[in-house]
Amino acid sequence: MTATPMSDEALATAMADLRGRLRARGASVRATEKWGHYQRCNTNNAMFAARVDADDLLRKTDLAVDFGLSPFAIQRGNRVEQIGRANGYAVTIDLLRSDFGFGIDEVVPLDLRHGFPKNEQGMIAPARRTRQATEANILGRPGAPNIIDGAVLARRIGSRAAYFEADGVGAKAGRAFHVNEFKGWAVVDGRAEDAGKLGAAQTQMGVYRYLLSDLIEELGGSVEAIPSAGLLVTPKNVGLTLVGSKVDLTAPTRRLRGRRRN
């Protein structure tokens, strides 16, 4: 006997019933990556589809997970992003030029961080504009943005669309697209202060590279236009002078592509 497929509305209702009184969480890079590690677990898959955060289930227990950033870390991260975007992205452009050979003299930025509601519905228009800007670059249209600030990449997960907003700047130089990310923690003497934070940033940027490559392929472009390395922008030592570090994104992208085939 073949089961009749459920409509999107019926499936959403079923997932809401399964979630019950638990707070629904939105899609995020970290949540998607964590789910991807345990796809063989049906409970994990059901919780992900129902938008249940497993960490929330452990609150007020001995197994509660520590998460969240200190106010100081949040302020420092915000300050790093402000510096990276100031004066027409001057610092970020300099880092792109020195680390990736960003050779375009005229910077044409597209700001998708402001002017949209801060909710899931507010992601739809930025995702559409990200797609339009990417297509314009692939086709070589005059005046196409070569900096996409707050690029939103859409992906259908199960029965619903999920939207992922890049924390940093999506940039294009010539025929190459770059994945960039801002972080508030420091690189000291050329090394990240915390290997765990560097690994998390690498995974996050790898997800963006994977989603961007899918979009470029869908629009008829070549994924070879995306370098295997991304640009991580962080403070240098204890100050707020920003430095760029190349981060190899081959491994996290390969893991995600392997899961899609399976």
User: Positive or negative, the Cα torsion across 233, 101, 199, 225?
Assistant: positive
Give the pLDDT of residue 26. 62
Q: Which residues of the chain have pLDDT under 50?
A: 1, 261-262
C-alpha separations of 19 from 9, 57, 90, 118 in Å: 15, 11, 46, 23
Give the pLDDT of residue 262. 41
Give the pLDDT of residue 251. 86
Give the pLDDT of residue 142. 85
User: What are residue 229's DSSP bridge partners?
Assistant: 248
Q: How many CA atoms lie within 13 A of 213 on its CB side?
A: 18
CA distance linking residue 261 with residue 205, whole number of Å = 20
For residue 156, give the nearest of 43, 21, 27 by alpha carbon. Answer: 27
The backbone torsions φ and ψ at residue 60, rounded to the nearest 5 degrees and listed phi first, read 65, 25
What DSSP character marks residue 223?
G
Token pair belonging to 40: 């063989």
CA distance linking residue 111 with residue 126, whole number of Å = 9
Give the pLDDT of residue 62. 63
The structural domains of the chain, with segments of one domain joined by +, span: 8-57, 71-261
Query: Distance from first CA to last CA of the chain, Å, rounded?
Result: 25
Give me Rg for the CA atoms of the chain: 19
User: What are residue 243's DSSP bridge partners?
Assistant: 234
Give the pLDDT of residue 256. 73
